[in-house]
Amino acid sequence: MSPRLIWNGYGKAAVRLVKVVRDGPDHGLHDLTIDVQIQGDFADAHVEGSNAAILPTDTMKNTVYALARESEVAPVEEFGIRLARHFASACPASRSVSIGITVHPWEQAGSHAMIRGSAERRTATVTVEGEALTVQAGLDGLGMLRTSGSAFTGFLRDRYTTLADSTDRLMATEVTARWTYARPPADWQAAWTAVRTAIITTFTTHESQSVQQTLYAMGAAALAACEEVQDIRLVLPNRHHHLVDLSPFGLDNPDQVYLATNEPYGRIEAVVAR
């Protein structure tokens, strides 16, 4: 047998960066986690033990901090583009460079004070491959819940089905979304906000026959909200809330008391494109 190296990549993961902006009476804060991955011709490092083509991952970490000092880190898409192009130039053996950025939110609580924000996180992934540039934006952990306006009926049944039809149920989810830009928008922040707003507005107003139908409506609304978006991938876990049986205690339960569960859960996902 003659083993072959058919794929390889390397980089620096989970680079934590906090940048304080002190250019006015109200200080700003950017809290980011950055992942760097390079793919290319690094076979000699694996097969021959030669590191001549390897840019150390420690250098990648240092570069993140240096470029954060030399330039703005917001919008994160532009910071990711600067990082990706730098590493593509600094590492000649690279074929593609991917930068993943997660934004950890903080809320202003005074001129010099912040409090930790919600569990929702903004994301961006920038990939440079030769002259080609791909920018993907997104969000994680957007928790949403509706107490009415959601149904699930007429589904496939077999001998193991116990779920009853519901014409009005509680629906909860925690959205993960990733959308790819066909071209750079004029304003990265405005584009991200427009897509997020479309997702939230659709969830709150859509008369849902299933999580699948609501997901598709969210995707369609996102495309309509930002003409630069070419496609969007949405993942909606169904965070189940089970009505508690209070009859052993002589009590009724008119859709008021629920048991919230994390596992197991339904996972609904799809890609909606133009």
Catalytic residue positions? 12, 57, 240
Residue 104 exposed, middle or buried by CB count within 10 Å (0-12, 13-18, 19+): middle
- Long-range contacts at 63-72 (CB < 8 A, ≥ 24 apart): 63/87, 63/90, 64/12, 64/15, 64/17, 64/34, 64/36, 65/17, 68/17, 68/19
Residues 6+ apart with CB under 8 A from 125: 80, 98, 99, 100, 101, 135, 136, 138, 178
Distance CA(95)–CA(130), nearest Å, equals 7
Contact assessment for residue 12 and residue 35, using Cβ atoms and an 8 Å cutoff: yes
Chain length of the chain: 274
Q: Which residues of 18-37 are buried (b: 16+ CB within 10 A; e: fewer)?
A: ebeeeeeeeeeebbbbbbbb
Instruction: Report which of 229, 199, 235 is spatially closest to residue 217, judged by C-alpha positions.
Output: 199
